[in-house]
Amino acid sequence: MPRKVILYIAMSLDGYIAKEDDNIDFLSIVSTQGEDFGYAEFQQNIDTLIWGRKTYDKVLSFGIDFPHKDKKCYVLSNTKQGKDENVEFIQNVEQLIKRLQQEPGKDIYCDGGGALVFELLSHALIDRLIISIIPHLLGNGIRLFRDGRPEQNLKFKKSITFPSGLVQLWYDKD
């Protein structure tokens, strides 16, 4: 069975992944001691990660150790090439995913940002979407789903509600 490409991401109820200035403080609204919303379990089933460059830069800005040293990590970038101590920079995500799906391994985890999600959806490369809805209206910012991508049918898998108000929606490509 080919490796699945899974988008695992959070957004505001009105569809934003960050404010215009890349601020993601609204995510902490649902922070609950001891609750990871299924993230640790999800991580056990993946061995490869693909992020956009702004998401990667944001993680580095937290000043913590890179959290995915145990996985092969790629960052989609139009400006950076080669590798650093954590990731390999790529320019063509479609080519990368087609290659990865021919190799043995676990599923492939994709996370922000909007440009990466747009590229993946434009080429119908996402097999499963796991979207955590934060009970907050940002009003504006960086949208998860940009206009101009092809229409796609999805099949509902499940929804999970958490006491914090977060609702997690699972959909598979139809």
Domain ranges in the chain are: 5-173
More confident site: 1 or 111: 111
Q: What is the DSSP letter of 88?
A: E
Spatial neighbors of 14 by CB under 8 A, at least 6 apart, are 137, 138, 139
pLDDT at 63: 85
**Segment 95-135, tens digit of pLDDT:** 999 999 999 999 999 998 899 999 999 999 999 999 999 99
- Tell me how far apart the alpha carbons of residues 66 and 164 are, in angstroms, rounded to a whole number: 27
Q: Residue 64 pLDDT more than 90?
A: no
**Segment 2-48, tens digit of pLDDT:** 899 999 999 999 999 999 998 999 999 999 999 999 999 999 999 99
Superfamily of 5-173 according to CATH: Dihydrofolate Reductase, subunit A (3.40.430.10)
Q: Residue 74 pLDDT more than 90?
A: yes
With a threshold of 0.85, does the pTM exceed it? yes
Q: In Å, how far are 19, 128, 129, 173 from 155, measured between CA atoms?
A: 29, 9, 10, 6
Helix (H/G/I), strand (E/B), else coil: 125: coil
Q: Are 168 and 44 in contact (CB under 8 A)?
A: no
